[in-house]
Amino acid sequence: MKGLTGVGLGWRRPLAHFIDGRSDLGFVEVLAEHLDAKGPLPEPLVRLRERGVPVVLHGVSLGLGGAEPPSPERLARLARLAERLGAVGVSEHLAFVRAGGVESGHLLPVSRDEASLEILAENVRLAEAALPVPLALENVASLFEWPAPAFDEAGLLAGVLERTGALVLLDVANLYANAHNLGTDTRAVLEAVPRERLAYVHVAGGVREGALYHDTHAHPLPEGPLDLLEALAARVGPVPVLLERDDRYPPPEELAGELEATRGALARGVARRVGAA
């Protein structure tokens, strides 16, 4: 996506003042569901746009992994918001969120079989055609898998890339959760996305509860996602990275520390790549 560089932060109203005072953020990401498609934009977002900070519009409710095509009304709303924000792109999840008008309330994994992949790809193509900017697809964290998958998570990503023109928002925090909970092969997923199709990367915090790891976006950023970010940068070089925080907002110094830790992991990965070359 054009203009995305460095390390960014997810824009949330409780973080608006913190973001407004930072000159080192490469970009921000705004939740589409938190904005009024017809009303005025929040003033802090207007100021960011005037400063030339790139903005990505991030959705959670499109439901590209469902059997039904994405709602034309939802797509039109995303398109309007992207234009009003001057967004450089839209990102959404490779997820199943509703069926028959019933909302799951969660980003559920897509069944990994050929029929589901074909439906997913068709839904993605419909979304691409309706949006005025590039679309990036995010892998999701899960606590379960559908029975008898025909291919792994890397295969799902590769299949979508083969069948569509979409980009990838690679969430290494979600990947870390899936590796812990489901035994996902992280290396295969990191290698499944060509650099030219990688729009940007997410990192976020989470917490272990019993045998499971929950991607909460409300806890400190652990080493696991940062290790995966470093491994990715060692393979493809520098990539735009965005830190997500959605709840239990920490003091400014702690949040700044997580941004620095993200920059450090990215720099270590790039240095490994240079050293290997």
Contact predicate 19/25, CB 8 Å: yes
- Tens-place pLDDT, residues 196-253: 999 999 999 999 999 999 999 999 999 999 999 999 999 999 999 999 999 999 999 9
Residue 219: which residues within 8 A CB-CB, separation 6 or more?
205, 206, 207, 248
With beta carbons less than 8 A apart as the criterion, state whether 91 and 240 touch. no
pLDDT digit string, tens, across residues 101-126: 878 888 999 999 999 999 999 999 99
pTM summary value: 0.97
Alpha-helical (H) ranges within 61-113 are: 72-85
C-beta of residue 161 within 8 angstroms of C-beta of residue 121: no
So what's the pLDDT on residue 222? 97
- With contact defined as beta carbons under 8 Å apart, do 143 and 180 qualify? no
Q: What is the pLDDT of residues 54-96, one digit of tens each?
A: 999 999 999 999 999 999 999 999 999 999 999 999 999 999 8
Separation of alpha carbons 31 and 81, rounded Å: 10
Which pair of structure tokens corresponds to residue 203? 């990192």
Q: What's the pLDDT score for residue 105?
A: 81
Contact 141, 174 (CB under 8 A): yes
- Residue 220 corresponds to which tokens in the numbers above? 């400190």
Query: Which of 139, 34, 40, 129 shows the shortest CA–CA distance to 76?
Result: 129
- Write down all domains in the chain, each with its CATH number in brackets: 7-276 (3.20.20.150)
**pLDDT (0 to 100) of residue 100:** 83
Phi-psi category of residue 27: left, alpha or beta, with phi > 0 → left and psi -120 to 50 → alpha: beta
For residue 258, what pLDDT is reported? Answer: 98
**pLDDT tens digits, residue range 5-37?**
999 999 999 999 999 999 999 999 999 999 998
Contact, 111 vs 118, CB < 8 A?
Answer: no
pLDDT of residue 69: 95
